[in-house]
C-alpha cells in the first residue's frame, strides 16, 4: 500500500501535480486547443506514434479520441511540421479540412464526412482528406461507404508514387491496413 502511494506521488510530481506544487498555467490559443495536451509525449518520432495511437483508438471504437489523435497528427506542429501533403499548403485550403477534423473530435461524424467531401471536390488529390473520410464514415456507422473510400484511396491514380519511390504513400498503407482490419473483424 505504501509503495503504491509513493508511486502515485512520484507520477504526480513528474507532471507537476504534487500536493502544494505550483503548476504554471499554459495559455493556449483557441485555434490550438486540440493540440494540448499532446496525446503522445514529445520525442523524435512523435507524429508516427500519434498516428499509431489514433489507429488503435479507432480500432477500439473510441472514435472521438481517435479523431483528436488524427487532428494532432495532421494539424499540430510540435516539431516544425505536419505530414500534410505538400500540395495543400495554403491556409485557405486547410481551413475546411481543419473544420471537418474539429467536427469529428466533437462526435459530429456526419458533419465531418460532409465537410471532407467538400474538401475533396475542391482538392481531389488531397489523400489525407480521403483517408480520413473513410475513418469518419466508419465512425458514423457508414461501414460500406468507409470500405469503398479506403479502396478508392488505395487504387486512385493520383496516389501513385513516382517510379523511383520504394514505399507507398502513408494514406495508401493506412487505408489498406484499415480495410484489412475491417475484413478480419467481419465488420
Using CA atoms, how far apart are residues 150 and 111, in angstroms rounded to an integer? 19
The torsion angles phi and psi of 23, rounded to 5 degrees, stand at -100, 120
Q: Which three cell numbers stand for residue 137?
A: 464514415
Cα 89–chain centre separation: 18
| Domains (range + CATH), the chain | 30-184 (1.25.40.10)
pLDDT value at 18 more than 90: no
Percent of the chain at pLDDT exceeding 70: 65
Residue 160: strand, helix, or coil: coil
The cell numbers describing 74, all together, are 495532421
What contacts 24+ positions apart, CB below 8 Å, involve 55-61?
Answer: 55/174, 55/177, 55/178, 58/135, 58/138, 58/139, 58/178, 59/181
In tens, the pLDDT along 82-137 reads 556 555 666 677 889 999 999 999 999 999 999 999 999 988 888 889 999 999 99
Which has the minimum average pLDDT: 49-53, 152-156, 165-169, 182-186? 165-169
pTM: 0.75
Average pLDDT across the chain, whole number: 76
Asked if pLDDT for residue 70 goes beyond 70, the answer is yes
pLDDT at 10: 38
For residues 40-54, average pLDDT: 68
Q: What is the pLDDT of residue 127?
A: 86
3-state SS assignment for residue 53: helix
Query: C-alpha grid cell for residue 133?
Result: 473520410
- Structure confidence at residue 9 as a pLDDT band (50, 70, 90): very low
CA dist., res. 62 & res. 153, Å (int): 23
CB 69 within 8 A of CB 53: yes
Amino acid at each position: 500500500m505504501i509503495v503504491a502511494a509513493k508511486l502515485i506521488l512520484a507520477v504526480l510530481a513528474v507532471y507537476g501535480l504534487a500536493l502544494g506544487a505550483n503548476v504554471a498555467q499554459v495559455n493556449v490559443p483557441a485555434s490550438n486547443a486540440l493540440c494540448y495536451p499532446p496525446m503522445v509525449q514529445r520525442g523524435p518520432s512523435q507524429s508516427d506514434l500519434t498516428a499509431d495511437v489514433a489507429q488503435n483508438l479507432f480500432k477500439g471504437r473510441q472514435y472521438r479520441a481517435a479523431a483528436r489523435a488524427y487532428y494532432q497528427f495532421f494539424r499540430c506542429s510540435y516539431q516544425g511540421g505536419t505530414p500534410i501533403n505538400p500540395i495543400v499548403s495554403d491556409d485557405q485550403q486547410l481551413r475546411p479540412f481543419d473544420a471537418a477534423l474539429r467536427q469529428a473530435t466533437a462526435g459530429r461524424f456526419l458533419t465531418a464526412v460532409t465537410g471532407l467531401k467538400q474538401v475533396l471536390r475542391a482538392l481531389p488529390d488531397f489523400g489525407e482528406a480521403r483517408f480520413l473520410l473513410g475513418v469518419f464514415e466508419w465512425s458514423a456507422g457508414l461501414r460500406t461507404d468507409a470500405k469503398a473510400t479506403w479502396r478508392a484511396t488505395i487504387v486512385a491514380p493520383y496516389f501513385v508514387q513516382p517510379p523511383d519511390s520504394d514505399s507507398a504513400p502513408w494514406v495508401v498503407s493506412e487505408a489498406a491496413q484499415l480495410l484489412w482490419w475491417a475484413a478480419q473483424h467481419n465488420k
